[in-house]
Structure 1
Amino acid sequence: MLRGFYTAATGMMAQQRKQEVLSNNMTNALTPGYKQDQASLKAFPELLIHRMENQQIPTRSQSQVRTMLEIGAINTGVYVHETIPDFTQGSLQQTDMTTDMALVQTETPDENGSIFFTIQNGDGDVRYTRNGNFTVDGEGNLTTNAGYYVLDNAGNPINTDGLEFEVTPEGFVQIGEQNIPLGVVYSNDPNQLVKNEEDLFELAEDAEALVDARETAGLQFNVQQGYLEGSNVDQAETMTEMMQAYRAFEANQKVVQAYDRSLDKAVNEIARLG
C-alpha cells in the first residue's frame, strides 16, 4: 500500500516542478530572445516482482521445493529529470533602435545548431545570449541591459562612443571608418549550454567550445539592426500545458487522499477490532 502512496506523491512533486517551469516560460513570454524550457519527466527504476512459493514434489517423502514465479515489473514513481531549452527561432519585432539587434539563421549545417552573441559577465567570464536588447553605457561601451559587455570576435568590449553607429547584415559594427565584427559564435549542439540568470548561457563541463560563426562551413546568418528576436514561448500552448499539469497534480492528490483514508481506517478501526 505504501508503495502506491509514494508513487502518487512523486507524481504530485513532478507536476509541481513542471508547473514551475511553465510559469517561468509564461513570465518571460515578452523577454527578447528568451528560449522556453521543456521539463523532461523520467520514471524511477522499475522493480521486478516475483511470487515465492513452495511446490510439492510427488515423491515418497513428499519433498517441497521453493520456487519463484515472475509476476512482472512495477513502477516506483516519476521525477523531472532535466529542463531542456528550446532553441527554435523567435519572431522578429521591429524597434528602430540602433542598439537593438536580432540574429537570424538562414542556413545551418545542422538542423539543431544555433548562433549566439558573445557576452562578458560581471565576473569577466564569457557567456552567450540570443537577447540583442543592447544599450550603451556611460563610457560608450555596447552592453546588455544588465550592464555586461558585448564582445567582438577577438573577445574585447565594443566601444561605439555613443549611439551613432550602424551594424551591417554580416555583423560588423561600423563606427566612422572602423568595422568591428560582433562576436557571433555557433554551436552544433546548443543543449551543451547551461542557462544562467539574465538570460545568459554558459558551456557545460566537458562541452565542445563554440566556434566563430563566420568560419563555420554551411552556416549563413545575418544581423538585423533595429529589430529584436521575440521569445519563442507560445502563450496559448503554455496555458494549455499548465492546465494539464494542474489536472495531473490533482489526480495524484486524490490518490494520496484515498491512501490516507485507507491508512486511517486500518490504524483506527481495524486495529481496534483486533
Structure 2
Amino acid sequence: MLRDGQPAGRGDRGVWRGGRGDPVLRGLYTAASGMLARVLQQERLAGDLANVNTPGYKASRNVTEAFPELLLSRLDGTGAPVVGPLGTGTVVAEPGADMRPGPWVTTGRPQDLALEGDGFFVVMGPGGPAYTRAGNFTVGSQGYLQAPDGSPVLDTTGQPLLVGSAQFTVRPDGQVVVGDAVLGTIARVTFANPAGLRRVGDNLWQATAESGPAVPAATPVRQGVLEQSNVDPVQVVVAMLANFRAFEAAQRAVQAQDQTLGLAIQEVGRVT
C-alpha cells in the first residue's frame, strides 16, 4: 500500500501511518466520519421539517464530499501492483438551498405579497441589505412595511417603504398606491447564482461572491397571495429514515473495527 506516495514498509506490521508516522486506524476514522456526517444531515432535515409551514422557506440541499483518496498497492516481492483507491472518510459540504418556488395560497391580506417568478424582496437586516421570498409583511407602528422580525422592506431607491396603514394597493410592477398617490416601488432583485446565497437569520439570505451581486429585477408582484415553503414533508421523512439507516450502518462498522482492534491487542500479541 502507498503512504504519501511511497510503499508502506514491511516493518509497519499492517498498521496504516500518516505522513508524520502517527498510527492511523483508517477504518475506524472513516466510519466515524460517516456517523458525524449523518448527524449533521439529520439536523438539517429536521430543520426543513420544522419549517414546512414557514412562508417562503427554501429546503436545504445536503451534499457530502469524500476526503482525498489513497492509492492501494500490493507488496508481493515482485513490485507494487496497484489494487485501487481507498476512500478515507466523508464530510458534509456547505449547505445549499433548493430555490424552486413554493406553492401559493390566497390570503386576501393586503400586506401579503408574492413574487411571480424569480427574485427576492429586499429588507434592511442587522448587517445590511438582506433578501427573502417570504412576503408575509406587516405595517409597523410608524407606518413602514416590514418583515415579521421588524426589518423594513426597501423600495427601489434603497429606502424603507412608508405605506402609512394597511389600506394600500400593490400593482404588478411593484408600485405601492394609496388612492391616487404612488408611495414608492417595492424593490425586487435577482442573482446570477441564487444557490450561492448564504442563509442568515429568520428566512433571510445574504449575497456572497458565489451568488454574485444583487441585480434589479422586474418580477411581477401579487398582492393578497403568499408563497409557502417548498419543503415536501413526505420526501423529508423518507430522507430522514434513510439517513438514520446509514448512521446505523456506520455505527456497526465502528463496532466491528473496535472488536478487531481488541482482538489484535489481546490475542495477536499473546505469548503461549
Q: How many angstroms apart in 1 are the aligned matches of 2:148 and 2:256? A: 51
**Segment of structure 1 superposing worse, 177-186 or 157-166:** 177-186
Runs of 4+ in 1 over 6 A off after TM superposition: none
Secondary structure of the corresponding residue to residue 173 of structure 2 = coil
Counterpart selection for 1:138 from 129, 137, 141: 141
Q: How many angstroms apart in 1 are the aligned matches of 2:192 and 2:207? A: 13
1:130 shift after superposition: 0.3
**Segment of structure 1 superposing worse, 25-34 or 162-171:** 162-171
Structure 1 gap segments, 5+ residues each: 56-66, 106-113, 215-220
Q: Are the aligned partners of 2:55 and 2:227 in contact in 1 as well (CA < 8 Å)? A: yes
Q: How many angstroms apart in 2 are the aligned matches of 1:84 and 1:49? A: 34
Match of 2:49 in 1: 26
Secondary structure of the corresponding residue to residue 63 of structure 2 = strand
**Segment of structure 1 superposing worse, 256-265 or 17-26:** 256-265
Instruction: Work out whether 1:159 is the aligned partner of 2:157.
Output: no
**Segment of structure 1 superposing worse, 24-33 or 68-77:** 68-77
Match of 1:263 in 2: 261
**CA 1:128 to 1:13, structure 2 compared with 1: closer, same or farther past 3 Å?**
same
Q: How many angstroms apart in 1 are the aligned matches of 2:77 and 2:233? A: 60
Instruction: Work out whether 1:176 is the aligned partner of 2:188.
Output: no
Secondary structure of the corresponding residue to residue 101 of structure 2 = coil
**CA 1:273 to 1:94, structure 2 compared with 1: closer, same or farther past 3 Å?**
farther
**How do 1:86-97 residues align onto structure 2 when only pairs under 5 Å count?**
86-97=98-109
**CA 1:122 to 1:176, structure 2 compared with 1: closer, same or farther past 3 Å?**
farther
Q: How many angstroms apart in 1 are the aligned matches of 2:126 and 2:192? A: 27
Q: How many angstroms apart in 1 are the aligned matches of 2:100 and 2:210? A: 24
Aligned residue type for 2:50: T
Q: How many angstroms apart in 1 are the aligned matches of 2:38 and 2:88? A: 16
1:226 shift after superposition: 1.1
Q: How many angstroms apart in 2 are the aligned matches of 1:240 and 1:273? A: 52
Query: 1:90-140 CA deviation, whole Å, 9 max, x = no partner?
Result: 0001111111111111xxxxxxxx3000110134x1111001010011100
Q: How many angstroms apart in 1 are the aligned matches of 2:126 and 2:142? A: 16
Secondary structure of the corresponding residue to residue 236 of structure 1 = helix
Q: How many angstroms apart in 2 are the aligned matches of 1:193 and 1:229? A: 19
Counterpart selection for 1:43 from 66, 80, 103: 66
Match of 1:186 in 2: 190
1:273 shift after superposition: 4.2
1:168 shift after superposition: 1.1
CA RMSD, Structure 1 to Structure 2 (Å):
1.6
Counterpart selection for 1:252 from 250, 253, 259: 250
Identity %: 37
Q: How many angstroms apart in 2 are the aligned matches of 1:270 and 1:208? A: 59
Counterpart selection for 2:224 from 223, 226, 235: 226
Counterpart selection for 1:3 from 17, 26, 38: 26
Q: How many angstroms apart in 2 are the aligned matches of 1:199 and 1:207? A: 17
Query: 1:46-97 CA deviation, whole Å, 9 max, x = no partner?
Result: 1012234544xxxxxxxxxxx3322211111111012110000100011111
1:207 shift after superposition: 4.7
Match of 2:200 in 1: 196
Secondary structure of the corresponding residue to residue 95 of structure 2 = strand
Structure 2 gap segments, 5+ residues each: 1-14, 16-24
Aligned residue type for 1:244: A
Question: Counting strand residues as a fraction of each chain, which structure ranks higher?
Answer: 1
What TM-score comes out, normalization by structure 1 length? 0.86
Aligned residue type for 1:133: N
1:209 shift after superposition: 1.5
Residue-pair matches, total = 248
Aligned residue type for 1:94: T
Q: Are the aligned partners of 2:123 and 2:152 in contact in 1 as well (CA < 8 Å)? A: yes
1:195 shift after superposition: 0.8
**CA 1:164 to 1:34, structure 2 compared with 1: closer, same or farther past 3 Å?**
same
